[in-house]
Homo-oligomer: A and B are copies of this chain.
Amino acid sequence: MARSSRLAVAEKREAVLDIAARLFRERGVEAVSVAEVMAAAGLTHGGFYGHFGSKEALAAEACTRAFGRNEARWTALAEDYADEGLAALLRSYLGPEHRDAPGAGCAAPSFAAEAARDAPEGGIRRAYAAGIRGLAGAIERLLPSSVRRRRRQRALLALSAMVGAVSIARAAGGDGISDEILQAVREELAG
């Protein structure tokens, strides 16, 4: 109907991306329609292809954004609790709040299925791999300097266990084992 100003256009695009990043993490890319994303941003579906080349392209960008926001939070957490090493991150990542709020949580568990089923050179897969590299590096930096050898391996173990624990805890939510897993992984990785 009406044309928007340049600033408004850029803002809308950002809003669409943020909303897509949330909805895709909550319910998966396939279960969310383009029209729904646009509606949640206060638009109709028609203008979508002016902003993004395809739904797949949106998903790839949303994946990158979700990873980016996550890594930023990890870094902030590391600065706020510099003396704790991994502990602060483990508390936050393996807490029930994170398990129960996938829309605002880490992209690694949420986009894993989408990325795994993406094409070999697909955008989501690429975004995912880049995001994982970022998170792995962030954990490596958080490991105490007392961990000399196998620092990288330790970081990858921690990342895998964190992502796996949250994935399983979400999938088994409602069963007592969900909390048990979060707790166990937290204690084992901290110790």
Number of copies of chain A assembled together: 2
Cα separation A112 to B180 with both chains bound (whole Å): 17
A125 touches B174 (CB 8 A): yes
- A157: nearest residue on chain B (CB-CB)? B188
Interface status of A167 (Cβ within 8 A of chain B) = yes
Contact A173 B121 (CB under 8 A): no
* A99-133, CB < 8 A from B: 102, 108-109, 111-117, 120-121, 125-126, 128-129, 132-133
| Number of A residues with CB within 8 Å of any CB on chain B | 53
Contacts of A80 in B (CB 8 A): none
Q: Chain A interface mostly helix, strand, loop or mixed? A: helix
A174 and B121 within 8 A (CB): yes
| Cβ–Cβ < 8 Å partners of A22 in chain B | none
Q: Which of A132-170 contact B (CB under 8 A)?
A: 132-133, 136, 150, 152-154, 156-157, 159-165, 167-168, 170
A30 partner residues in chain B, CB cutoff 8 A: 28, 30-31
- A168 to B133, Cβ gap below 8 A? no
Residues of A within 8 A of B (CB): 27-28, 30-31, 102, 108-109, 111-117, 120-121, 125-126, 128-129, 132-133, 136, 150, 152-154, 156-157, 159-165, 167-168, 170-175, 177-178, 180-181, 184-185, 187-189
